[in-house]
Structure 1
Amino acid sequence: MALLKKGSRFITVDGTTYQWRLRGRPTYDQGLVQSPLTYAVGHAETPGTTLVVTTNQPHPSNWFGTQGGPVLPAQVADSIRTALSAGWTPANPGSPFHLDQSAGFVSSH
């Protein structure tokens, strides 16, 4: 599954280029700060299995103004390396690979 180009950023990790993207508007649960921010990562040249990373912070556009930090390229690179060591194969087709890094997320309710 290919990521949308609009709003995507590129990052090179260990010689391989990936494309990553945050959802611009929060989902309903993210807007209510009941679920954490997620972002998607895919192989830039050969889109295959998408990596879906669940963070431990709220979506920056949540409806309660709960503060969350930005997703930094270093965090994305660390997530990519973690997912690769856990078996993510980005160039091969398949179902999304989920990486849960939500430990420490505090829901608003």
Structure 2
Amino acid sequence: MALARRGTRRIVVDGVEYRWHVSRRHLCCDYEGHTLGYVAEHATRPGTTLVVETGRPARLDPDLTPAGLVLPHEVATGIRTARARGWTPTEPGSPFTLQLSGIAPEQDS
């Protein structure tokens, strides 16, 4: 199922355009409640949706850095990792789920 255009952000990763947004629908349960997730898809030929679980709490703690923030370089890391693990974004199929709790985001140079 394709993402609604409204509320999505555009990102180009390795020359390919994708759309993404932080997902309230694809939050996963943990001991504290929910963890933060986002979804992405190919921008012009959406097929299989990527569902990324960050492993970070979705709730904001005023004493800590905002946990509900997903940065574009994190999305790029998730897309690259999913592609390396077999995600084919232009092919139809069930959502491709990726757990990123142990992967550090790449820093832009």
Q: Tell me if structure 2 keeps the 8 A contact 1:36–1:102.
A: no
* Cα displacement string for residues 29-86 of structure 1 (whole angstroms, at most 9, x for unaligned residues): 58x9423111100000001000000002122xx3xx4341521111100110000000
Structure 1 regions of 5+ residues with no counterpart? Answer: 104-109
Partner SS for 2:74: helix
Find the aligned partners of 1:69 and 1:22 in 2 and give their Cα distance. 9
TM-score, length of structure 1 as denominator length: 0.78
- Quickly say closer, same or farther: Cα 1:94–1:73, change in 2 above 3 A: same
Q: Name the structure 2 match of 1:22.
A: 22
Deviation >3 Å, runs of 4+: 24-30
* RMSD, aligned CA: 2.5
Q: TM-score, normalised by structure 2?
A: 0.78
Q: Which has the higher contact order (CA 8 A, sep 6+)?
A: 1
**Distance in 1 of aligned mates of 2:68 and 2:52:** 15
Deviations 1:70-105 (A, max 9, x none): 2111110011000000000000000000001134xx
The alignment of Structure 1 onto Structure 2 pairs a total of residues equal to 99
1:47 aligned partner: 46
Contact 2:26/2:37, CA 8 A, preserved across alignment: no
| Structure-2 residue corresponding to 1:82 | 81
Higher-strand-fraction structure: 2
Q: 1:86 to 1:5 in 2, by over 3 A?
A: same
